[in-house]
Amino acid sequence: MPADAAPVQATSFSGGGGRARHVAIIMDGNGRWATERGWPRLVGHRRGAERVKQVVRACPELGVDWLTIYAFSTENWKRSTEEVLGLMGIFARYIRREAEAMSAEGVRMRFIGGRERLDPKLQTLMAGIEARTAGNTRLNLTVAINYGGRDELARAATRLAGRIARGEIAAASEADLAACLDTAGHPDPDLVIRTSGEHRISNFLPFQAAYSEYEFTPVLWPDFTPAHLAEILGRTSQRQRRFGAA
């Protein structure tokens, strides 16, 4: 993101009766879903990608304007070559196969995370779909690939150091930092959901989700349907968010 991108506005969604405009999901449990059935882990990842399609389609009618999904973390390179390459293939196929539908359905697709470590062909597909869907406004879909919050903050710190060195700013404000993140221009998530029963954020949006609501469900991602999302949204929309106020 350019260092001079517009500062990010925090979302309000405050008080009871609000709606989660921006939902972020840590899609976890694909491997366990497959292993439980005696299948290779990649079968779980393929089923997980099918679930993404369904959830993306359901978002507009559920009042979700922004959906940010965690597809591959900076730590996931520790997995076997077979699994990593299989996942990269799934990402490429998803972009190719869904390009037409996303264009027609008003989905703007973007990516966060470091790109230089990704296969150049995948990088080209990513840039292509971002350009092709840049004018869409019905749903903002952001996919985190090779994303890690600490890595993102380190890259942002480098950009900020440059701005300070050039004398553009004397010291970084929160807005200056937000504008240097991969998510510059995105509202903060209102709600972060993690599937599979784990209660941790695993390096996902640590700056942006500092004031988000969290919801943890035991459902494994390949079993997660739009009905689960609707149920969570209905249950959490009444939560009082105070943002530190009395």
**Shorter beta-carbon distance to ligand IPE: residue 59 or 87:** 87
Active-site residue flag, 146? no
**Shorter beta-carbon distance to Mg ion: residue 28 or 213:** 28
Q: Whole-angstrom Cα distance, residue 156 to residue 148?
A: 12
The token duo for 102 is: 């996303």
**Cβ neighbourhood burial of 78 (10 Å; 0-12, 13-18, 19+):** exposed
Looking at 8, 22, 30, 107, which residue binds ligand IPE (CB under 6 A)?
Answer: 30
Contact 103, 134 (CB under 8 A): no
Q: Whole-angstrom Cα distance, residue 162 to residue 151?
A: 17
Min CB(45)–Mg ion separation in Å: 11
Ranges within 53-112 binding ligand IPE (CB under 6 A): 70-73, 75-76, 87
Q: What is the DSSP string of 124-147?
A: HHHHHHHHHTTT--SEEEEEEEEE
Q: x/- site string to ligand IPE, residues 172 to 201, per CB under 6 A?
A: ------------------------x-x-x-
Coil/strand/helix, residue 111: strand
Number of residues in contact with ligand IPE under rule CB under 6 A: 18
Coil/strand/helix, residue 22: strand
Count the residues in the chain. 246
Which stretch in 23-31, 100-108, 160-168, 178-186 sits in contact with ligand IPE by CB under 6 A? 23-31
**Shorter beta-carbon distance to Mg ion: residue 140 or 195:** 195
Residue 222 binds which entry of Mg ion, ligand IPE, none, CB below 5-8 Å type-dependent: none
**Shorter beta-carbon distance to Mg ion: residue 66 or 70:** 70
Q: What is the phi/psi pair of residue 14, to 5°?
A: -90, 160
The one catalytic residue in 65, 76, 136, 151 is 76
Ranges within 20-59 binding Mg ion (CB under 5 A): 28
Told to check if 28 binds ligand IPE by CB under 6 A, we report yes
Active-site residue flag, 28? yes
The one catalytic residue in 28, 176, 188, 190 is 28
Q: What is the DSSP string of 146-203?
A: EE-HHHHHHHHHHHHHHHHHTTS-SS--HHHHHHTSTTTTPPPPSEEEE-TT----TT
Q: x/- site string to ligand IPE, residues 197 to 226, per CB under 6 A?
A: -x-x-x------------------------
**Shorter beta-carbon distance to ligand IPE: residue 71 or 232:** 71
Q: Whole-angstrom Cα distance, residue 85 to residue 83?
A: 6
Q: Which of 129, 131, 55 is nearest to 94 (CA)?
A: 129
Report the interface residues with Mg ion, using CB under 5 A.
28
Q: Which residues are catalytic?
A: 28, 76
Residues binding ligand IPE (CB under 6 A): 26-32, 70-73, 75-76, 87, 196, 198, 200, 202
